[in-house]
Amino acid sequence: MVFNSLTYLIFLPVVALIYYILPKIRRYTLLCASLAFYMAWRAELVLLIVATVGVNYVAARLLAANHRRKLVLAVCMAINFALLFIFKYFGFFTDSIVAVARWAGAEISRPAFDILLPMGISFYTFQAAAYTIDVYREKYAAQISFINVLLFIMFFPQLVAGPIERADKLMDQLLDHSIKPRLDNLGAGAKFLLLGFFKKAVVADRLADCVNAVYNRPDSFTGLAYVVATLFFAVQIYCDFSGYSDIAIGSAKLLGVDLTQNFRQPYLSAGIREFWRRWHITLSSWLRDYIYIPLGGGRVSRVKRYANIMITFLASGLWHGANWTFVVWGGMHGALQVAEDALFAKTRHVPKVLTPLAIAITFVLVCVTWIFFRANNVSDAILILTHLTSDSARWGDWRYVLDVLSSMSSNLLDILINIMLCAAIAAIDLIAWQTDFIARVGKMPSLIRVVVYSVLLIMIMALAKFYSAGDFIYFQF
């Protein structure tokens, strides 16, 4: 089941109704709803989640009993990441070995089988691993009930694409039987849902058509098309993923549960370090707490600190996907952060007068890295990157510009609508500066609030692509 479907729009209010009518069985209501949510995609793969939870549940209980703690943690993490490797990275690993062997002159064949990538495996594996590590660190007591841990990992709003929650924030909320339906929660939930559907079904899915046209056939286009498609993809992936997070937050709000804000206007960042404090916040904090800091963090020599940064970002790239394009993308972000630290170590804060320039430079750099993230392979990414300005001499010719834009879509009007939607997203982020859009609009006069949400609703009804909607990009991770 996916958020941007009629099924989910029926499923969510039904679950909320049962949840509030029968408070004594809430955890079972949420667990059954979560199982149904995931099993609507592939029922048999829910067993993998149950197995993952089982391993971490047993490990946490053994850790609580002080039973060979280091060995228990090591075995648990080995099983967690072995499952992740088998289901997500085995094909990538074997393909890479075959490619290297053939380059070296050896003839070997790839194993003749493929493994289906379970939806959301990277997310629930990281969340389960964090639970066990936090029990090991004695930040959180091990749960006695297996059902409680299973619900914590499987809570349907954040199951397949985050936010990646910690037990000390989410577990107690899920087990609170005293939560009552409150108008402020219901209203906030509906507003987050509205914003999320606008971002996903209106903006991201419309931009996807133009992006796919160029990135799936890069040899058929030239520089200006690459630039426009890359800018569109920057907005597409932001709206796709933050739209999912908004729908997740809104769905949880309807149930009286607060999830972590996962995005905070990332394209208004004045540096790469700041970008990662604003983009996919729960993943960034996970990588910091469970990889970067255990490696020594910033408490070591400069060389070791830079190595820790690179290792962390390469892990981030590999987490995103089983393709060298993601590894390169992660490495680029690591290198950019190292360069930023080396060049501006003594000036952590950008002077206000230079902030707009710093934001623009950061956005351009992030867009360059997106080329590798979106490209189907490294060769396509290099082709696009090295030909971004191949036709720049003609960019001043409006007829040529219109021809290029027309080649990216069957309808020039769609391109113009896409440009206006990108401007709308920029306006939303500027309005939400240093907070979130819902909170900012909530402080406006009631008439303006009505107009804002009415416009969002009208645009969803007029422009949304529900019947040809694509999956959320981060479902593949």
CB contact at 8 A, 174 and 257? yes
CA distance 186 to 375: 40
- Give burial (CB, 10 Å; 0-12/13-18/19+) of 65: exposed
Rounded distance between C-alpha atoms, residue 302 and residue 300, angstroms? 7
Q: Nearest CA to 123 among 99, 158, 98, 168?
A: 158
State yes or no: is 67 an active-site residue.
no
Catalytic residue (one of 280, 320, 349, 387): 320
Annotate 373-406 with b (16+ C-beta within 10 A) or e (fewer): bbbeeeebbebbeebbeebeeeeeeeeeeeebbe
| Structure tokens that stand for 420 in this block | 């206006």
For residues 295, 154, 254 and 457, what is the CA-based torsion angle, rounded to 10 degrees? 80
Q: Which residue has tokens 């996970």? A: 286
Query: Please, what is the Cα angle at 269 between 349 and 475, to 5 degrees?
Result: 145
Q: Which amino acid belongs to residue 256?
A: G
Name the residues annotated as catalytic. Answer: 320
